[in-house]
A = this chain, B = another copy of it.
Amino acid sequence: MSESVSSSRAHEQFIRRLELIAALTQGEREVLGALPLELRDFPENSDMVSEGDRPTHCLLLVGGFACRYKTLTDGQRTIMDFHMAGDVPDLLTLHLPKMDHNVGTLTAVTAAFIPHRALNEAIAAQPRLGSVFWRETLIQSAIFREWLVVVGRRTGHQRVAHLICDMHRRMTAIGLASPAELPLPITQIEIGDALGLSSVHVNRVLQDLRRDGFIAGQGRVLQIPDWHRLEQFAEFDPAYLHLKPMPMADDH
């Protein structure tokens, strides 16, 4: 059920993920590589952290997809963000001890538990790591702001297009997608929950986008004939992701 290693694949993923948003020194990489991790598997559609929890660990996603969501009194849920390998969705519990929302899995997930204490010791040993973690939570914040604009002001078609662009950038950054193919691991219901649309409407929007040549491919693996065109349509500007320039960026 659990296992403890030093500088495993999980460590590497975490380090590579942080290097997408900040440069790391060798000393910092070493401290990160020595973090104690306990791997654990979660089934599809289960909660990893729940509203009201006061966790003593953070969760590093190693495989699979998760989302951050709230459930309303009438049972509706709002998905506020998606998470994937390398993300630590509950990094905020370091300084906001009580969760005010849930983090749940979309697919089966493997995650590594990192004790708060170990993270704080890492920060103490390499203070700049504190800034990197802080920065990571600020980028999260920037993503929420951008989604606020998307959900508040754009049409259904633009919202769906924006979500596709967003996921594509993030998945490409960690090697899970390519300019050619985007394997989206989320249902139309979940897309609706994230964008404030009904699943019925999401379905119709996807058909329109397909008809208009913005997306292609059936099932959950999308091909996008013209990224530039899609991004333009969605008014997608990746600046809010604050990623350093990608190695194999497909920018015009």
Residues of A within 8 A of B (CB): 68, 70, 72-73, 76, 78, 80, 92, 94-96, 98, 100-101, 130-131, 134-135, 137-142, 144-149, 151-153, 195-196, 235, 239-240, 242
Q: Are B148 and A144 interface neighbours, CB within 8 A?
A: yes
Name the B residues within 8 Å of A152 (CB-CB).
78, 151, 195-196
Known interface pairs A141-B144, A145-B80, A145-B101. Does A151 touch B196 (Cβ–Cβ under 8 Å)? yes
Whose C-beta in chain B lies nearest to the C-beta of A149?
A: B78
Pairs of residues from A and B, 10 with the lowest C-beta to C-beta distance, nearest first: A152-B196, A144-B144, A141-B141, A95-B135, A78-B149, A96-B138, A151-B152, A80-B145, A92-B138, A95-B134
Name the B residues within 8 Å of A239 (CB-CB).
98, 100
Whose C-beta in chain B lies nearest to the C-beta of A120?
A: B131
Task: Tell me, in angstroms, the Cα distance from A173 to B72 when the chains sit together.
Answer: 26
Interface residue from B80, B142, B235 paired with A72 (Cβ < 8 Å): B235
Name the B residues within 8 Å of A95 (CB-CB).
131, 134-135, 138
Whose C-beta in chain B lies nearest to the C-beta of A133?
A: B134
Task: Tell me, in angstroms, the Cα distance from A15 to B226 when the chains sit together.
Answer: 52
Name the distance in Å between A79's Cβ and chain B's nearest Cβ. 9
Task: Tell me, in angstroms, the Cα distance from A95 to B149 when the chains sit together.
Answer: 22
Residue from A76, A149, A196, A235 having most chain B Cβ neighbours under 10 A: A149
Name the B residues within 8 Å of A94 (CB-CB).
134
Name the distance in Å between A162's Cβ and chain B's nearest Cβ. 12
Known interface pairs A72-B153, A137-B134, A137-B138. Does A148 touch B80 (Cβ–Cβ under 8 Å)? yes
Task: Tell me, in angstroms, the Cα distance from A101 to B145 when the chains sit together.
Answer: 9
Name the B residues within 8 Å of A131 (CB-CB).
95
Name the B residues within 8 Å of A100 (CB-CB).
142, 145-146, 239-240, 242
